[in-house]
Structure 1
Amino acid sequence: MHVEPEILNAAVTLRREYLAEGITDAQIRRLVRRRQITRIRHGSYVQTALWESLSREDRHRLLIRAVLKRGHPSMVITHVSAAVERGCSIWGVALDDVDVTRVDGRAGRSEAGVRHHAGSFTDEEIEVVNGVALSVAPRTVVEVTTRCDVESSLVLVNQLLHNGQLDKRQLRNAAEYFKYWPGTLTTTLVERLANPRLTSVAESRTWYLCWAQHLPCPEPQVAVHDENGVVVAYADFAWRQHGVFLEFDGRIKYERYRRKGETLEDYLMREKRREELICLLTGWVCIRIQWADLAHPERTAARIQRILDSRRSPIPA
């Protein structure tokens, strides 16, 4: 999460709150025209400067708060919206609508920008995170997998596993407990593919590509040791038996691992030296892929397979 929940919790102002302060509808419209405030849904406004600074996930978190301020008190945030509030980055799923479920058993009225779900909860299936009532993480992942495809679901589930909000036992138990829900065949598949060692959207999508394209399963986050047994680098993925490792290039990775005061050129040079060090210590060859490669999985998989097939006598790490 990039924005503190305290900021988001106080950011939404309703039309009725403006009116109570003596601000008229004409004045509200004037503020919108001047881009001082932005209407994010019917009767709900935020400061434009804040709205424009937010990621799509944090904008969705503001939409959640706007829905809750005008919604029924029994609303619980569920499905993809619950995953977003837990800090997950989203891939392949639109964030236009907020997912809610009412615990009184009623689906609630239909309205634009809100996806109402019918369902019931036990007390143990609801928790408050950042001041928002959410379905607990094991239930959230089942909700997500019944609505989203395998790849999009895997991206979310791996993040929850990696950040410690969920473990494999809880995931397995939830898949079994909710197995009679419609759509849980996806849940079973995601549970099998999920891996807490996958740390990013890119890594989860690369892992999915290898599975979907029937490549040999790589090992993620592989430690590379020097001559004294000290870990000096990590490879995103490796096929030890082939002597091949794979690195993902992407803007988010650059932002995450660039050191304070380091230019992009400096970072790229340091990455090049890291790759050369891995090759020197292991004898492996490197494959680099980017976001564009994930958009062409068959072509990318064929390139990876050709390199794997070409490695006849790899040098073990």
Structure 2
Amino acid sequence: MSSTTAPSATELVVMRRREQLDVVDDRRLRRNLASGSWTRITAGSYVVTAEWRRLRPIQRHRVLVDEVARRLEPGAVISHFAAAAQHDIDILGAWPRRVDVRIERATGGRSGGAVKRRAIGLEGVEREPFGMHELTTPAQTALDIARSAPFLVAASAVDQAIWRDRDGGPLTTVEELTSLLDAVPRQRGDVRARRVLDVADPGAANPRETKAAHVLRSLGFPRSRSQERRILRSGRLVFGDRYFPEHDHWLEVDGRGKYLSPDFGDDRDPHEIVIDEKNRENEIRREVRGFSRLEATDFDNPRLVYDVLTADGLPSTKPRP
């Protein structure tokens, strides 16, 4: 059987009807889909549901792109969210159900099935080889999304593309994106893209951090920076999710699964991890003027964020929402 490799080195076995009629026969297909043991990726491509569920959303979209690309005529230009998944540029929110393909303006091609054709032209578009097709470069991909997607989705994609702590380094920079934006005649979405680039943050490690920064700005809190690095008096190296330098205020943003993550030590139980985290917090509190703690999901409730931070002494220029 053929396989697709995800960034986590998870091997996903894809069963393709046109190649494996002995495995994907009508009776077995109907039975496995009805029982939920198989999941349909796209027409003619299926996967064991348990394996599919282990993938992150960006990995699932990458597999969808791979499968749809196999059926496209050679020379397609994979772009926007489809290209983002291939470059491991994550986004805030759900991934689309169709694969983006960029085409010439004059072709007038229609979207249909698993393909979304974007007739916005190919002149001056940066591309790279992608099997029998082409893929927009990371910079082009981030800029395309910045021009066309809702602000937070666009900002998360740009932040992920310029993320400075990515393994292997950032895929692009704000300077490169700005140069690419200026290199072609003005087009629809340029104003939106410049707004996104104005607040781009290479320190945002994931889309939730991008959203947190946006919520903090919208609530009128002072300028902050992500992933603050500090060596405490004990010699311990710590990183803060957000730090407000004007007020020496430290903000921790935790996910509920944090204390169960193997990243915090396979040899320690959650109780030990909680105690160590509390000791870490106490050390930080002794070295800053202000300290706050929120959960990642709290940023879905701006009023709660406002109340917690103002109660902890961080000023805002705006009234309570």
* TM bracket, shorter-chain basis: 0.7 to 0.9
SS at match of 1:12: strand
Hey, what does 1:188 align to over in structure 2?
A: 194
**Structure 2 counterpart of 1:207:** 213
Q: Residues 281-309 of structure 1, C-alpha deviation per residue, up to 9 Å, x if partnerless? A: x1433111113321122442354245345
Mapped partners of 1:167, 1:113: distance in 2: 31
Quick check: which one's helix share is greater? 1
Give the C-alpha shift of residue 124 in structure 1.
Answer: 7.2
Q: Is residue 149–residue 186 contact of structure 1 (8 Å, CA) maintained in 2?
A: no
Find the aligned partners of 1:253 and 1:173 in 2 and give their Cα distance: 39
Percent same amino acid at aligned positions?
24
Alignment partner, residue 248 of structure 2: 243
Q: 2:81 matched to which residue of 1?
A: 80
SS in 1 for 2:97: coil
Q: Give the C-alpha shift of residue 147 in structure 1.
A: 2.5
**1:267-286 CA distances to partner (integer Å, 9 max, x unpaired)?**
22222111111112x14331
Shift of 1:246: 0.4
CA contact (8 A) 1:237 1:247 kept: yes
Shift, 1:252, TM fit: 6.0
When residues 215 and 309 of structure 1 are mapped into structure 2, their CA distance, relative to the original with a 3 A threshold, is closer
Structure 2: which amino acid aligns with 1:246? L
Unaligned runs of at least 5 residues, structure 2: 1-5, 316-321
Which residue pairs with 1:12 in the alignment?
A: 14
Q: What CA distance in whole angstroms lies between the structure 1 residues aligned with 2:135 and 2:273?
A: 39
Q: Does 1:57 align with 2:62?
A: no
Q: Closer, same or farther in 2 for the Cα pair 1:95/1:270, shift >3 Å?
A: farther
2:238 to 214, 221, 233: 233
- SS for the counterpart of 1:74 is coil
CA distance in 2, matches of 1:130, 1:303: 51
| Comparing 211-220 and 105-114, the one that deviates more | 105-114
State the AA in 2 paired with 1:180.
Answer: R
Cα offset, 1:253, TM superposition? 4.8
Distance 1:218 1:132, change over 3 A: farther
One-letter amino acid of the counterpart of residue 64, structure 1 = V
Any conservation in 1 of the 2:17–2:24 contact (CA below 8 Å)? no
**Distance in 1 (alpha carbons) for counterparts of 2:278 and 2:154:** 33
Q: Give the Cα–Cα distance (whole angstroms) in 2 for the partners of residues 153 and 306 of structure 1.
A: 32
Give the match for residue 166 of structure 1. 172
Paired residues of 1:127 and 1:135 also in contact (CA < 8 A): yes
Query: Aligned to 2:19, what secondary structure does the other structure show?
Result: helix
Paired residue for 1:291?
296
Alignment partner, residue 118 of structure 1: 119
Amino acid at match of 1:214: G
Mark the CA change 1:219 to 1:25 in structure 2 (over 3 Å): closer, same or farther.
Answer: closer
Equivalent in the alignment of 1:41: 42
C-alpha displacement of 1:79: 0.8
Offset at residue 188 of structure 1 (A): 0.4
Contact 2:250–2:288 (CA<8 Å) still a contact in 1? no
Structure 1 residue 159 displacement after superposition: 1.5
Of stretches 88-97 and 210-219 in structure 1, the one that deviates more from structure 2 is 88-97
Kindly state the Cα deviation for residue 46 of structure 1 after the two structures are TM-superposed: 2.3
What do you get for the CA RMSD once the two structures are aligned?
3.1
TM-score, reference length from structure 2:
0.82
Q: Deviations over 1:98-121 (max 9, x none)?
A: 212247974544322321112444
Number of equivalenced pairs:
305
**What SS does the corresponding residue of 2:18 show, helix, strand or coil?**
helix
Aligned residue among 268, 275, 280 for 1:269:
275
What are the Cα deviations for residues 57-77 of structure 1, in whole angstroms up to 9, with x where unaligned? Answer: 211111111211112212222
Contact 2:160 2:205 in 1 (8 A): yes
Matches of 1:261 and 1:2, distance apart in 2: 26
CA contact 2:231–2:237 (8 Å) conserved in 1: yes
- Partners of 2:211 and 2:65 lie apart in 1 by 27
Tell me if the contact between 1:198 and 1:221 (Cα under 8 Å) persists in the aligned partners: yes
Report SS of the residue matched to 1:260: coil
Contact 2:230–2:238 (Cα < 8 Å) also in 1: yes
Secondary structure of residue in 1 paired with 2:102:
strand
